[in-house]
Every structure is written in C-alpha cells, then in structure tokens.
Amino acid sequence: MPVGSTENSRPTIQGVAPSEVGSLRFAVQPGPRRVQHYWTAVEQTPISIALFDPQTYRFVDTNAAFQQLLGYSADEMLALALDDLVAIPRPLMLYELQQVRQSGKASVQELRYQRKNRQLIDVEVSTSYQYDEAGGVFCLIVHDISRHKQAEEMIRYQANLVQSVSDAIISTDMNFCIESWNRAATELYGMAAAEVIGKPFGQVLRVQYPGTDRIALLQRLERDGAWQGEQIHHHKDGTRIDILASVSYVWNSQGQHVGIVGVNRNITERKRVERLLLLAQKSEHINLLASGIAHDFNNMLTSVLSQTSLALRKLPADTNARAHLEKAIKSTELMVDLTRQLRAYTGQSDFQIEAVDLNQLVKDNLGLLEAFLPKQSRLEFSLMSDLPTIEIDRGQAQQLVMNLVINAAEAIQCETGRIIVETGQLFVDQAHIETYKGGEWLTPGRHIYLKIMDNGVGMDHATLAHIFEPYFTTKSRGSGLGLAATLGIVQKIRGAIKVESRSGQGSTFVVLFPVGEPEHATPVEIVPTPGDTVLVIDDESSVREVVGDILATEGIKVILAVGGRDGLEKFKRHKAEINLVLLDLKMPVMNGEETFLALRAIDPNLKIVLSSGYSEQDVTKRLLQQPLTQFLPKPYSTKALVAIIRDTMQQ
C-alpha cells in the first residue's frame, strides 16, 4: 500500500529502528516529502515492524522484515489479524492491548508467533499505540529471539545435566577455591554447596594422591590441559572415599584458562572388590601351596609311620626299644595332625562331624595361636577340666578358635596386651538364649562355651551392628570375612554367639555349643586272610615298600607297580590272582583316575582302594560312587591299612 494513501482514511508506515519509536507519530503528519522519508526508513530497517487496526486487529501494513520473519507476502499479511499469529488466548491479548491504549505506554513482552509454515518462533514484541487524524493505530516492533532462547535453553539443559549426573562435578578458580558444586557432590561428600563455595578444594576434601603428588598433577595439567587418575577424598564425617578424578582446565574465548573443573567418580566399592580379589588370589596360591606341601608330607609320613609301626609290632613286648618307637610314632602322629590342621585352616579338608575335646583342640593349636600375638602380648588359658565333648568338624572348630583369637590380636594396640581363652559349662534359660546371635537353634539347658576376651581398642555400638556382615571391616588390611565365617560355623553346628564390647575397653566373644553325645569306641579286630594278593600302584617307592612289608606280615601277597602304566601291565599278567588294588591317585604320566577307569574296563568287579595325600573331597565323586571302591587317606597307620584292605575284600 503506498505511503500516504487515504484508503480507509488511515495513513500507513512500514518499519523504524527502536530509537525511532517516538517518531512514529510524526511519520503520519502531512507533507509528502516527510512521509516519504519515513517510509524509506521503515521499509529498509532490518527490524520487523507492523501496524494493525485497533478495532478489527487486522494488519494494515507491514514492512519487508516483518513479512520475511513470518513467511507471508505483503498482500497475505493484509488478510490476517493479530490473533492469527499470537499463540496466546484472545481475551488475554485484548486485555494487554487495552492497557497499552489506555496508558499510552508501550509494553514489551516475550511471545510466540506462528509462522506461515506453522512453526512457532520466540519473539520479543514492543507494542505501542500511535495517534493520527483517523484516530490511531497499534504499532508492533518485533525482534526474533529464537536463537537467544535456544541458547538459554541449552544453558539450562547443561546446568540440569551437571546437576543430574551421578558423578561429583566441582569447579574451582585458578587458586583452587571452589566455585561450583553439583548435587552429586553434596550426596558424595555430605556437604552442601553453601558450606564449601569459596573454600580451598584440597582443604575441604583432605585430598591425597596415591602413586603421585599434587605437583605432578599440576605439571601434567599444564602440559596436556587435562589429568586423570586416582585420588583419596574424605566425607564430612571423615570416611575415606576412593575417587577416579578427571581434571581439566576451563578456557575462555581468548584461549586462556580461567579455572579448573573436576569430574569425580566414587570407586570405593570397586577398590574394595579389587582388594578382595587380590586377597582371594593370594589365598588361592596359599591354598595350592599348602595342599602340595600336605600331599608330599603325607606321602613321607606314610612311610615313616607305617615302618615305625611295623617295627614296633616285630619287637618283643619286653624290649627297651619299644618305648622309643612309641614316642617316634606319637611324634609322627602329631606331624600328621599338623598337615591336617594346615589343610583345615585353608578350608581344604572334608567336613567330618565328630566328638571334639575343645580343651585339647585349644592346646593342640597353641603354637599357631601364639604366632598371631603382637609383641608384648600374652595368651592366657582358663580351661575347665573334664569338659564334655562337642559335635563338630575338627577343622571348622580349629578355624573358629583361630578366627576369634586373630580378631582379638588385631584389636590390641596397647603395650601390654592380654588375650584370655576360657572354656566351661553354662546353664542357659530362654531369656539368656535371646541375647545370643543364632540363639533360635538353642534350647534351655546345659551348654559348652568358649570365651575369648581381650583388652584391645573395643568397638562402638555402630560397629557392633555390622561385625558379622561379610566384607565389613574396620581394619586397613582386613578382608571382613573372619567373623562372618565364624558365624557361619556356629550356625552350622546349631550353636550361638554373643559379643560384648565398648570403645577403649576391649571385647568379649562367647560361643555356645550343644553338648555332644558320649563317645563309645568299639575296637576293630583284624583277622588275617592268607592267600590274598594285592596290587599296589604308587609312584612313591617308600610307600610301595612299606605297604609291601606290612601286608607281607599279614600273609598277603603283594605285587608292586611304579605307576599307572606299569600297574595296568601287571594287572593284565596277574589278573587271575589279584583280589584287590591299592591305587594312588596322584601320579605322573598316567594318573590315578585314568588308571582306575582302565582297570575297571578290564574287570568291572575289581575291588579298589583309592589312596591320596590329598583329602577325600579332592577325589572325583564318580569314582567313590562306584561299587567296591573305598578311600584311604595318607598318611595311614598299619592298623588302618590292614583294616580297610580286609573290609574291602570282605565286601
């Protein structure tokens, strides 16, 4: 529409700069030159400007910038009203326009306009009312702020992202004073942002640098602009937190670093698991070493024990040498028990419930118990005489005693430490039972107890609530499994355990055991059966020799084989006369299991006694489930060897 047109008796204008808003009223004054001047200014300005009728709200003129912003042509704009563009309710729009008209002041709002292609754009709109000889007209000056709003939205998104991530994100200035602190940092360290903003980062978290130092970190940061590694931070309550930290500079638009940001991930649990895995690997190596040592010792002790027993049997009853041989046998049996204890302590022995004298078990383990005592500490005993036996696996009983004594020893930090091991009998009623953990298994009455007392550092109530949980430990090198294993053993035998402790006043552990049934031993009578033949297959020459000597004294013929292949060949040659095979499981080239299967393939009804320096749990189950098969653990006495040979032959 030409500027200055009198159509509808209303002159029109297209576009002015923001500073020219006040000049709009003069743009409609008479005078072709003046009107043309403002037409040119309005049309050429990049600012979007439009005029609309105060009665119909239809557009009467728009400049090129306004048309381009909304995607309409000039003619298309004349067919539109303001509410065709504004994405707000019409009553609200009308109210705002009325306020502008009545007040004579321009209003500035952030709105959303809808373009011709239905796209919504964010705009800042300045609305004013301009008077002319026809009454007046509304004028819109519109700025597209979509990019600005998108930038704001991105900033908000990034801020929310920082707040919502699970890693602690902390920024500092170049002096390492904290400037920002996200929600995850508050949860991780137990401190709100208001408590730490402006304070030195290292001082707030008491940062430690395992494997490096602060200087090395700064040098790497200066060289590469970033650093990643492990640190140790601390919670508000002093708890240690293992952290994987990623540290980098914050740069400004001029390429200068103006701050430092760190992303801190809590790896405390991962480090704990890594330590436990390392401990498990070490334990596995120790177990393998202990198993191998026990096997070799048992082979050697088999020869020593059997030969000594055989020599004793051959001596007259009145000879002075018998006493010396009996002492040698007793010492050998103690050595046998030592290898059994070694395997039991590493958890490799079988579970065999038997009547155990608790006092004797404590005495037998005195040497091992004293080995765990710290310097300037002593172990004291108060053992009740004539104590009834308890029904328990001997290895587990030993582990239980060892765990409690080791726990007491590790708690001692004073110069004169004391650990008291006490046994006795105790009558408990239901009320007393309820003070024990696992007491649901107990019934009122007489019980055997084991009490371990120390004068160590003691424990507070919070620690006491968790001491039997797996992996819980307050020690820097502890695995957290000792007391958990102890509770497991106690529950398995249907006993109960109680602990009393106070910080700085030591601890007392009490374990209740059910009283075992009296043991009635029935002597085994060995009846020789001359004429039998036994094939002995063992790679240890000392074992073969002693077995041959023992069985020969029983009138049993013996064929000796140095290994699996030799044993198969000799069995094939003497199959008709062999009644039984004594087979070692641990042999080179052709092991015991392979030999066993080959022998049974030849004769499915062959009687076989398996023997090993390892425990029965190491023997393949499918072998022991075979008929006419028994197991003889090494080392064995003359009596045990002959008894199992006779028993198997009589099956």
Which string of DSSP letters, residue by residue, matches 544-612?
HHHHHHHHHHTT-EEEEESSHHHHHHHHHHHTTT--EEEEES--SSS-HHHHHHHHHHH-TT-EEEEEE
pLDDT digits 0-9 by tens, 208-250: 888 777 888 888 888 888 888 888 999 988 888 998 888 888 8
Q: What is the pLDDT of residue 258?
A: 85
Residue 528 pLDDT > 50: no
Contact at 8 Å (CB) between 113 and 70?
yes
514: left (phi over 0), alpha (psi -120 to 50) or beta: beta
Averaged pLDDT, 189-201: 91
Contact at 8 Å (CB) between 635 and 305?
yes
Q: Please report which confidence band the pLDDT of residue 10 belongs to, taking 50, 70 and 90 as the band edges.
A: very low
Least confident span in 37-51, 541-555, 565-579, 613-627: 613-627
Q: What is the per-residue burial (b if ≥16 Cβ within 10 Å, else e) of 69-94?
A: bbebeeeebeebebeebbeeeeeebe
CA-CA distance, 332 to 339, in Å (whole number)?
11
Classify 32 as helix, strand or coil.
helix
Q: What is the pLDDT of residue 9?
A: 37
Q: Please report which confidence band the pLDDT of residue 543 belongs to, taking 50, 70 and 90 as the band edges.
A: confident
β-strands 445-454, 507-514: how paired? Answer: antiparallel
pLDDT digits 0-9 by tens, 438-489: 777 778 888 999 999 998 888 888 888 888 876 677 665 555 567 877 887 8
Closest C-alpha among 40, 127, 122, 115 to residue 77: 115
CA-CA distance, 170 to 176, in Å (whole number)?
10
Contact at 8 Å (CB) between 378 and 409?
no
Closest C-alpha among 243, 140, 251 to residue 201: 243
Q: What is the pLDDT of residue 429?
A: 87
Go through the domains of the chain in sequence order and give each one's CATH number: 7-146 (3.30.450.20), 165-266 (3.30.450.20), 350-521 (3.30.565.10), 533-649 (3.40.50.2300)
Tell me the sheet residues that pair with 148: none
Q: What is the pLDDT of residue 351?
A: 57
More confident call, 370 vs 390: 390
Percent of the chain with pLDDT over 90: 15
255: left (phi over 0), alpha (psi -120 to 50) or beta: left
Least confident span in 29-33, 187-191, 408-412, 429-433: 29-33
Q: What is the pLDDT of residue 210?
A: 83
Report the predicted TM-score, pTM, of the whole model to 2 decimal places: 0.39
Residue 253 C-alpha from the chain's centroid: 43
pLDDT digits 0-9 by tens, 300-347: 777 677 777 777 777 777 787 777 777 777 767 666 666 665 555 555
Contact at 8 Å (CB) between 201 and 177?
yes
Q: What is the pLDDT of residue 515?
A: 82
**Average pLDDT, whole number, for the chain?**
79
What's the CA angle centered on 302, arms 301 and 308, to 5 degrees?
Answer: 85
Contact at 8 Å (CB) between 552 and 533?
no
- The tokens for 234 are 């601390």
Residue 495 C-alpha from the chain's centroid: 30
Least confident span in 367-371, 405-409, 592-596: 367-371
- The tokens for 397 are 């009983």
Give all strands (DSSP E) within 429-468, no chain letters.
445-454
Q: Which residues fall within 8 angstroms of residue 98, CB to CB, at 6 or more apart? A: none
pLDDT digits 0-9 by tens, 336-381: 666 665 555 555 555 567 888 999 988 887 777 777 787 778 889 9
Averaged pLDDT, 609-631: 71
Residue 504 pLDDT > 90: no
Q: Which residues fall within 8 angstroms of residue 324, CB to CB, at 6 or more apart? A: none
Q: Please report which confidence band the pLDDT of residue 422 belongs to, taking 50, 70 and 90 as the band edges.
A: very high
CA-CA distance, 563 to 565, in Å (whole number)?
6
Task: Give Cα separations from 161 to 172, 260, 508 (angstroms).
Answer: 19, 18, 52
Least confident span in 160-169, 372-381, 480-489, 533-542: 160-169
Residues in the chain: 651
β-strands 557-561, 533-537: how paired? Answer: parallel
Contact at 8 Å (CB) between 616 and 624?
yes
184: left (phi over 0), alpha (psi -120 to 50) or beta: alpha
CA-CA distance, 239 to 235, in Å (whole number)?
5
Q: Please report which confidence band the pLDDT of residue 420 belongs to, taking 50, 70 and 90 as the band edges.
A: very high
CA-CA distance, 616 to 464, in Å (whole number)?
38
Q: Please report which confidence band the pLDDT of residue 181 belongs to, taking 50, 70 and 90 as the band edges.
A: confident
